[in-house]
């Protein structure tokens, strides 16, 4: 899968981006997914090579409570709208990754309702993790305490067949792989039963598992997935800048080197589940964080809006994700001017990374380390090239990237 080595994702949460109603009791159906097509050239001009889409399947509210994973959410349109998006991406050489929610489904999924109605001997009973002997009657086991999210029974062959069928259906429709939501909550043996058979029929597909902590290398080896999400590095990048403690980043990069010896993680400084990077460390800090991200090994993703310096704080309440999952205008020309400097920095740094493709598997070595000053060398695995990245937040913040000849490739000062 050579294409993966050059992948830089633009991650989009479609329900938010396209302005779909999230919690309306009777939401209107519309081909809102087509709004994305007006942004594909923007994604290319940014320097990204693919769309990493959040949920697009029929769901109750936010997309992660699915009720039919074989159907496009009516709030986004229909299959013809999805097919048009796939074709438009293909014409531009953009890859397409879909979000597969296979840890759980929405409590209103028809098969959940059928299972509870029919009992343990019913036609869909073994698809879900249900406590048939619970006090007060059968009770589905739920995902992380959310009553609206019913767990699949990952020990059952029925669940293996179901997830395999969903994955293959959309791969056959033209997507390039899957982001597996909450993969950490599913036993790796389940993925090991699903992925190999799909990979046999779709050898160029890429499988990314959402993993928050733990032994990532072991997870990849035992699950058969290609990569995991590097949340530890995400946290270390912004926290080191905010807390003025580059020892944390250095520790995380040492651990990151260990991951890179076994697989290539998905790296990021923002996504649909976390407070915007510019809200955490300001727009200048966000540019510094981006420069770090794009000079490290990994397969990076840029969360839509971060390239414009968007702000937004995640809150633990109903609707607490709305601020970080906003609607975009119909066209890029309608964006405000205040994001231009951050956008330009993204283009410059993505361009730098594309000119140094060996960075995808580069490992780092510290050259100088203090709380507020850190210089690291990102080196090609075969030793043929390197970049030196010097970060200083002791006084006037600055970041300088030099090549192996000592020439400055990119420089930023507050």
Share of the chain above pLDDT 90, in %: 98
**From CA 47, how far away is CA 42, in angstroms rounded?**
9
Give the number of residues written for the chain.
414
Mean pLDDT in residue range 319-341: 96
Question: Quick check: 58 and 16 in contact, CB under 8 A?
Answer: no
- Listed residue (127, 76, 122) closest to 102, CA to CA: 127
Identify whether 388 is part of a domain: no
What's the pLDDT at 242? 98
Q: Tens of pLDDT along 53-69?
A: 999 999 999 999 999 99
Identify whether 405 is part of a domain: no
Identify whether 410 is part of a domain: no
Identify whether 371 is part of a domain: no
Give residue 240's domain range.
3-361
Identify whether 369 is part of a domain: no
Identify whether 228 is part of a domain: yes
What's the pLDDT at 395? 87
Identify whether 171 is part of a domain: yes
- Listed residue (180, 178, 297, 186) closest to 233, CA to CA: 297
- CATH number for the domain spanning 14: value is 3.20.20.80
Question: Quick check: 373 and 399 in contact, CB under 8 A?
Answer: no
pLDDT band at 25 (very low <50, low <70, confident <90, very high): confident
Domains of the chain: total: 1
Q: Tens of pLDDT along 183-230?
A: 999 999 999 999 999 999 999 999 999 999 999 999 999 999 999 999
Query: What separation in angstroms does the CA of 37 have from each of 49, 56, 94, 171?
Result: 15, 15, 12, 20
**From CA 378, how far away is CA 387, in angstroms rounded?**
5
Q: Tens of pLDDT along 119-139?
A: 999 999 999 999 999 999 999
Identify whether 72 is part of a domain: yes
């Amino acid at each position: 899968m050579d294409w993966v080595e050059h992948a830089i994702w633009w991650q989009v949460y479609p329900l938010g981006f396209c302005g779909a109603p999230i919690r309306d009791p009777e939401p209107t159906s519309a081909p809102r997914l087509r709004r994305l097509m007006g942004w594909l050239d923007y994604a290319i001009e940014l320097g990204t090579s693919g769309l990493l889409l959040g949920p697009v399947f029929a769901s109750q509210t936010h997309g992660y409570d699915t009720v039919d994973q074989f159907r496009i959410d009516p709030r986004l349109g229909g299959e013809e709208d999805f097919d048009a998006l796939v074709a438009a991406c293909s014409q531009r050489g953009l890859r397409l990754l879909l979000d597969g929610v296979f840890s759980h489904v929405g409590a209103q999924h028809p098969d959940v309702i059928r299972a509870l109605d029919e009992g343990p001997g019913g036609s869909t009973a073994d698809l879900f993790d249900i406590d048939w002997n619970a006090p007060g009657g059968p009770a589905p086991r739920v995902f992380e305490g959310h009553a609206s999210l019913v767990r699949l029974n990952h020990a059952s062959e029925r669940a293996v067949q179901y997830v395999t069928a969903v994955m293959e259906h959309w791969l056959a429709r033209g997507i390039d792989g899957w982001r597996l939501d909450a993969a950490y909550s599913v036993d790796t043996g389940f993925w090991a039963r699903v992925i190999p058979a799909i990979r046999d029929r779709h050898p160029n597909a890429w499988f990314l598992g959402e993993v928050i902590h733990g032994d990532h290398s072991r997870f990849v080896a035992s699950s058969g997935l290609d990569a995991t999400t590097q949340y530890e590095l995400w946290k270390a990048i912004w926290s080191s800048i905010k807390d003025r403690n580059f020892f944390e980043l250095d520790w995380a990069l040492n651990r990151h080197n260990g991951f890179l010896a076994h697989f290539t993680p998905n790296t990021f400084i923002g996504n649909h589940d976390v407070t915007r990077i510019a809200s955490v460390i300001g727009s200048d800090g966000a540019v510094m964080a981006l420069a770090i991200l794009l000079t490290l090994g990994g397969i990076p993703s840029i969360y839509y809006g971060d390239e414009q310096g968007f702000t937004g704080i995640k809150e633990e309440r109903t609707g607490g994700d709305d601020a970080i999952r906003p609607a975009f205008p119909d066209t890029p020309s309608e964006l405000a001017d205040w994001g231009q400097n951050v956008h330009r920095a993204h283009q410059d740094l993505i361009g730098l990374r594309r000119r140094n493709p060996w960075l995808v598997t580069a490992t780092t070595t510290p050259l100088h380390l203090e709380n507020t000053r850190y210089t690291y060398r990102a080196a090609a695995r075969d030793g043929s090239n390197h970049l030196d990245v010097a970060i200083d937040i002791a006084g006037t913040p600055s970041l300088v990237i030099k090549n192996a000849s000592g020439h400055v490739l990119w420089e930023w000062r507050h």
